[in-house]
Structure 1
């Protein structure tokens, strides 16, 4: 019996020509206006009637807008209608959080430059987006050069065109495919993420922290100073802003590539990986550690590790993040130590061990205990 299909995202760089880029940019502006208008309509309708405005009703309004406004008619119908799905999701998430007892802010309007992607909800010949002659065909846009650096094994269902802050364009393809299951593996490993080392395993193996942001800080400061000296509204300021955005994008891509490589290796080697269920949002409130934690990208890494494990028939188990550093992994005694103490030295049983290695063993033990 084959495993059920799953949706995986593939991200490829695309290279629209000047005319195509101008059209896509105009579409982003129009979709931002549609989004804000639909959000305002929902808010006004609710305040007036006490009821929610449905997406179906808003689709009728969108049809009327197409007849009145040429700019709206220029946008492909799939792309324009998908904007209403985004509004619906934002509104539903808002009320879900209210019902859960939270105090969320009302969904925000999108300012200039804040609407950054366009989604074709159908992919294939004769539909909104498709492949043609090794290029990406976008209806009403034309054939766009695409760098297909990875082979796609499944069926493309959705195509999202995204503009990064740096000005680069990407196509994110949602692909339905069968997962590739690895052979059974019963080996379990504990993993402790950190700052000095990116991670330490319960077998003592250390994974070095590349510290992409820290290594680029001098260059980022130089670019930031250059930006601050440029006159507001000038072309030189726009160029300086673009250079800074490109550097930040480079760091993000380096970090993501590192996470992909490490998560691939771990999922290949182990049947079960045990990690702490870290509350990273709370941890970054410690201003001394916030930058280092963000640089390491623990949240993105654990998320990536989890979905890759599930796809391969492996498992990531999350355990409560309490006491793994202070507890002795041999005798269970509590040995207090602050962050500056890198060695676990137990006065009760004599165990001397790297503190992160000790924590990784405790993480593994907690899994076995549960």
Structure 2
């Protein structure tokens, strides 16, 4: 899947219509969730039952009927996704507290399927034909959507953000750009002093976008409380505060995307730690710094570009990658404040570089085990199939491109 995004330019009454459609979606989702909570005690509720219930909502409420029928169905599907996630976590016995599906109060998008919208022949305008009154919207952006057939568009989503409204197109196309082999492999160790350190000793600076923007964000937050509740000035102050956070999130994403793309272009095998970020955030002393570093987002982009460029991304267990000597495999215990690895075998390396080498060695060991095992072997890797051809080198393996996540674009 490929997601293209345009900014929407419209009149004030059209923005109000989009906002009303978004509120309708939230209403449908919450009503479906309440229906599941009440009816599941006596009967089994699945996605088809929720779709049927959404049809009943169309007959009962006029403002629901004004929304396109497929958009109503997509809203019911959202509630089923929350329910299914709860069921899956219970079956898998996920450690920690498993959250029960909650009612939504801050929905920001409305999703249409293959009806309810018409794309202009120039593909620079889109018209929504339901009775919400959205009408024709102008699309601002540089994505070349005119190069794709209209039939490939499976979903159209209107999203509200702090700086305006956006229109997203989900296209059913394969985003593949196989690059020539480089014969290189690299291990990556993410950190807080530097964004990451690779097995060659190269370090990327940690930009700390949130820390740098924190004084301005706090200033905007104080301005909110100095305004009268319910006033237009307070609403404007909240909008300024939201835009500051939006800017930081975009900076993090673009930085992670650029680094991940460069790493995947210059290496055939990319190894990284399979970190449990949610567990690490329980350390209240480091939670803000870990969030600011956006390690999980960097991993997502690594896996995305590995699939796109035909590379091999391997996640390895993080145990003892920092403590073990990369030369003699002896365990040298160190605290977090010790930044240099010194072993009795004579190996003296930066702590993060030593960890990156261990990560790469673990990845190669995993791939060799998968290669030497007869039949199909499951490995924790992206951009490669679950089976490996015997007799082929690691770089010359037959790679299979998996379907990309709909939340990632090229």
TM-score of the two chains, using structure 1 as the length reference: 0.90
Query: Does 2:119 match 1:130?
Result: yes
In the aligned structure 1, how far is the partner of 2:99 from the partner of 2:345?
53
Question: Does structure 2 conserve the Cα–Cα contact (< 8 Å) formed by 1:129 and 1:159?
Answer: no
Structure 2 residue aligned with 1:220: 217
Query: Does 2:195 match 1:203?
Result: no
In the aligned structure 2, how far is the partner of 1:60 from the partner of 1:369?
51
Query: Does 2:25 match 1:28?
Result: no
In the aligned structure 1, how far is the partner of 2:47 from the partner of 2:121?
33
In the aligned structure 2, how far is the partner of 1:198 from the partner of 1:280?
15
In the aligned structure 2, how far is the partner of 1:110 from the partner of 1:45?
19
Structure 2 residue aligned with 1:146: 139
Structure 2 residue aligned with 1:190: 187
Question: Does structure 1 conserve the Cα–Cα contact (< 8 Å) formed by 2:109 and 2:160?
Answer: yes
In the aligned structure 1, how far is the partner of 2:280 from the partner of 2:72?
39
Query: Does 2:55 match 1:63?
Result: yes
Are the structure 2 counterparts of residues 300 and 76 from structure 1 closer, same or farther at C-alpha, using a change threshold of 3 Å? same
In the aligned structure 2, how far is the partner of 1:365 from the partner of 1:55?
45
Structure 2 residue aligned with 1:8: 2
> Aligned to 1:287, what secondary structure does the other structure show?
coil
Question: Does structure 1 conserve the Cα–Cα contact (< 8 Å) formed by 2:5 and 2:166?
Answer: yes
Aligned length: 355
In the aligned structure 2, how far is the partner of 1:217 from the partner of 1:271?
38
> Aligned to 2:107, what secondary structure does the other structure show?
coil
Structure 1 residue aligned with 2:74: 82
Shift, 1:129, TM fit:
4.5
User: Which runs of no fewer than 5 residues in structure 1 stay unpaired?
Assistant: 1-6
Shift, 1:132, TM fit:
4.0
1:198-251: CA deviations, max 9, x gaps? 011101111111111111011111111112222322222211111111000000
Structure 1 residue aligned with 2:237: 240
Structure 2 residue aligned with 1:97: 89
1:169-206: CA deviations, max 9, x gaps? 11222122231212234321111111111011101111
Question: Does structure 1 conserve the Cα–Cα contact (< 8 Å) formed by 2:224 and 2:234?
Answer: yes
2:337 aligned residue (317, 337, 340): 340
282-291 vs 348-357, greater mean Cα deviation: 348-357
Are the structure 2 counterparts of residues 297 and 129 from structure 1 closer, same or farther at C-alpha, using a change threshold of 3 Å? farther
Structure 1 residue aligned with 2:345: 349
Question: Does structure 1 conserve the Cα–Cα contact (< 8 Å) formed by 2:261 and 2:301?
Answer: no
Structure 2 residue aligned with 1:302: 299
In the aligned structure 1, how far is the partner of 2:338 from the partner of 2:56?
67
Structure 1 residue aligned with 2:170: 174
2:277 aligned residue (273, 277, 280): 280
> Aligned to 1:288, what secondary structure does the other structure show?
coil
TM-score of the two chains, using structure 2 as the length reference: 0.82
Are the structure 2 counterparts of residues 280 and 105 from structure 1 closer, same or farther at C-alpha, using a change threshold of 3 Å? closer
1:292-349: CA deviations, max 9, x gaps? 1100100011011102201221111011001111222222222222222222222x12
In the aligned structure 2, how far is the partner of 1:57 from the partner of 1:292?
44
Question: Does structure 2 conserve the Cα–Cα contact (< 8 Å) formed by 1:120 and 1:129?
Answer: no
Alignment root-mean-square deviation, CA: 1.9
